Amino acid sequence: MKEKESVQKLVLAAAQRLCDTRDDWTFTPAEVVRSLPEVNEATVRTEVTGRCCVNAPAHHARRWPYFRRVDRGRYRIEPAFRQRPPASGTTGYAPARRHTGQRVAETAPGYGEERTDTRDTVHAVVTESEGWYVAECLEFAVVTQARSFDDLLANLREALALHMDGEDPAWLGLGSSPRLFVSYEARLATD
């Protein structure tokens, strides 16, 4: 448990460094991945998009209220955690102010520029309610539903294909052959 808690702290600190000079306190999971090269990429993405996100589908037993998903692939640090990181060589957090210590700096690619951050997996969470299966993609604004799980997977693949139709996968941050990772969320029987 201590190891997982330290990963969440690393992810939060990285997001705070990224947002050090951003007035809107927003960032992307790819930015956090690049700022934590020593941590497994999949772990960082899971922490940002699931365990540390207050409005992510509730498929983790424990969740930290650090971030909120505000747009496709964009997250915002929640007000309670909007602390500016300390300047180099100091301990603890300083009041919210801009500092001149080292920080992670990244900009989105300009029009026509290639992205250098690619991933090979697209994540979706599936829930079931009243006879319907619903899938929500975490990286893209794709949601679909069906009466059977098999139909849902077919619908999800089709919806993602339509969403990416005519787009360069690299521009969306994907490798040339992305995989679909589906998590199924089910309620436990309490009787």
Note down pLDDT in tens along the chain; length 191 residues: 444 447 888 999 999 999 988 889 999 988 998 899 888 887 888 888 888 888 877 666 677 899 998 887 889 999 999 876 555 555 444 443 333 333 343 444 454 555 455 678 888 889 888 889 999 888 777 889 999 999 999 999 999 888 888 877 777 777 778 889 898 887 777 76
pTM of this prediction?
0.48
Q: What is the pLDDT of residue 122?
A: 86
In which order are the strands placed within the sheet that holds 119-129?
143-146, 132-137, 119-129, 174-185
Q: What is the pLDDT of residue 167?
A: 78
Q: What is the pLDDT of residue 21?
A: 85
User: 104 and 44 in contact (C-beta within 8 Å)?
Assistant: no
Q: Which residues pair with 184 in a beta bridge?
A: 126
User: HSE on the CB side for 31, CA within 13 Å?
Assistant: 23
Q: What is the pLDDT of residue 25?
A: 93
Q: What is the pLDDT of residue 118?
A: 65
User: HSE on the CB side for 107, CA within 13 Å?
Assistant: 4
- Return the closest-CA partner of residue 53 out of 142, 103, 118, 123: 123
In the chain, CATH 1.10.10 covers 2-81
**Structural fold of domain 119-185:** Double Stranded RNA Binding Domain (3.30.160)
Q: Where are the alpha helices (DSSP H) in the chain?
A: 2-18, 29-35, 41-46, 149-164
Domain at 2-81, CATH from 1.10.10, 1.20.950, 1.10.3470, 1.10.357: 1.10.10
In the chain, CATH 3.30.160.620 covers 119-185
From residue 35, alpha-carbon distances to 27, 32, 51, 103 in Å are 12, 5, 18, 9
